[in-house]
Amino acid sequence: MASRIERAHAKKLKDGILKPDPGQDAALKALARLEKDLGRRGLFGGVPDVRGVYLYGPPGRGKSMLMDLFFAQVQEPRKKRAHFHAFLSRVHGLIRSWREGDKRARKATFGQWKGDDPIGPVAALIASEARLLCFDELQVTDIADALILGRLFQALFEHKVVLAVTSNRRPQDLYLNGVNRELFVPFIDLIEARCERVEVAGSRDWRIDALASAPAWYDSTDADGRAGFDALWQRLRGDEPEAEAALDVLGREIRLPRTVGGMARATFADLCQRALGPNDYLALADRFHTLFLEEVPVLRPDDHAAARRLVTLIDALYEARTRLVVLAAAPAERLYPEGQETFEFGRTVSRLKEMTGKGWLAATGSPPSPTMNDPKLQGRD
């Protein structure tokens, strides 16, 4: 008998919402197995150990689309889905709360207060909230994350938490060449032992096809331009809710209120009229594969500080091969017609034109995987 996810997938194929892709078949089968296993009960009604699923492969092959279907159809009542960066941010916050909290504060948050090691209480709290954790875009680039993940997930698995994960990388390629990587290897061993690994590697990048079908530069002075910019954002994010993201940059926190997985939406004022610098923009480019930059004005000659920041921002995005969609008051060559930064701005004009041109998607290859939750974009991940 077909599982709920298999029936839902078959219906989307029949309705023409999805197109057949043999590269996704193994992943669909693995998620159907996981759905059934989660519905089983152990001896005497206990909770059995269930092997999770780790989907990996290039961007745009449908990993997150399949995860959307799985999460919507699986009948496990205690389930949570999050971008892996958001999960790690919360874990670090909980660790900080345990370390800084007194007895009353610890008990209020964790239901316990004894001990110096925060990993056990943090894992117990997370396990009390969800038996099934679904993560998009698992990647590890920070030594602080690498050092805690093995111990944290060992504790979560002891609480019988089950994982369903998407990633661009095989488990053995996570945190590759990272500092003190040997301390991270136990986490890789745990993932390989507790999850079925399935490669999703169809030949077609459905996400790039979808982006290539729409303009990347919109006129903010025109109602149709604004509507087109908003429509593209809505199309790519689908049903996934927007969430605030926090970037930790050299001990400072940069907050972006509108993000969906690997996509961020921010105004020119957010990014170029605040005291931000190269490290902030590098962190942004590292965290997000697609930036929707809106409300870019025509700059006056004395707006040289904002012009300089825009130059630095575009340089960071360009080197990171970031997808860029812009809502601006003028074409790129007219954004900063005169001022002390006009010489440097010439390079930015050239890069803006390249990055919003049709050739950019093919030239940029495979940045970190996206989260585009319109099922019509069946290859977004």
For 72-81, b/e burial (b = at least 16 CB within 10 A) is ebbeeeebeb
Q: How far is CA 255 from the centre of its chain?
A: 15
Torsions phi, psi for 27 (to 5 deg): -65, -40
Q: Give the CA distances from residue 3 to residues 14, 74, 164, 293, in Å, rounded to whole numbers and listed in that order.
A: 17, 9, 16, 41
Tokens standing for residue 166: 């998407």
213 pLDDT above the threshold of 80: no
Do β-strands 52-56 and 252-260 pair in parallel, antiparallel, or remain unpaired?
Answer: unpaired
User: 305: which residues sit within 8 A by CB, 6+ positions away?
Assistant: none
> 262 pLDDT band (50/70/90 cuts)?
confident
Q: 4-199: which CATH number, 3.30.559.10, 3.40.640.10, 3.40.50.300, 3.40.50.2000?
A: 3.40.50.300
Do the domains 4-199 and 206-363 sit in the same CATH topology, yes or no?
yes
* Segment 36-60, tens digit of pLDDT: 999 998 777 678 899 999 999 887 7
> Phi-psi bin for 60: left (phi > 0), alpha (psi -120 to 50), beta?
left
Do β-strands 195-199 and 252-260 pair in parallel, antiparallel, or remain unpaired?
Answer: unpaired
**pLDDT above 70 coverage of the chain, percent:** 91
**For residues 114-122, average pLDDT:** 96
Question: Which run of H or E residues covers position 253?
Answer: strand 252-260
Q: So what's the architecture of 206-363 in CATH?
A: 3-Layer(aba) Sandwich (3.40)
Please, are residues 52 and 34 in contact by the beta-carbon 8 Å criterion? Answer: yes
More confidently predicted of 20 and 278: 278
CA-closest candidate to residue 5, choices 65, 50, 61, 47: 65
> 218 pLDDT band (50/70/90 cuts)?
very high
Q: Give the CA distances from residue 247 to residues 44, 235, 294, 322, in Å, rounded to whole numbers and listed in that order.
A: 46, 25, 20, 17
pLDDT of residue 83: 79
Cβ-count burial of 242 within 10 angstroms (0-12 exposed, 13-18 middle, 19+ buried)?
A: middle
Q: Domain residues of the chain, as ranges? A: 4-199, 206-363
More confidently predicted of 372 and 188: 188
348 pLDDT above the threshold of 90: yes
Angle among Cα 136, 141, 142 to the nearest 5 degrees reads 115
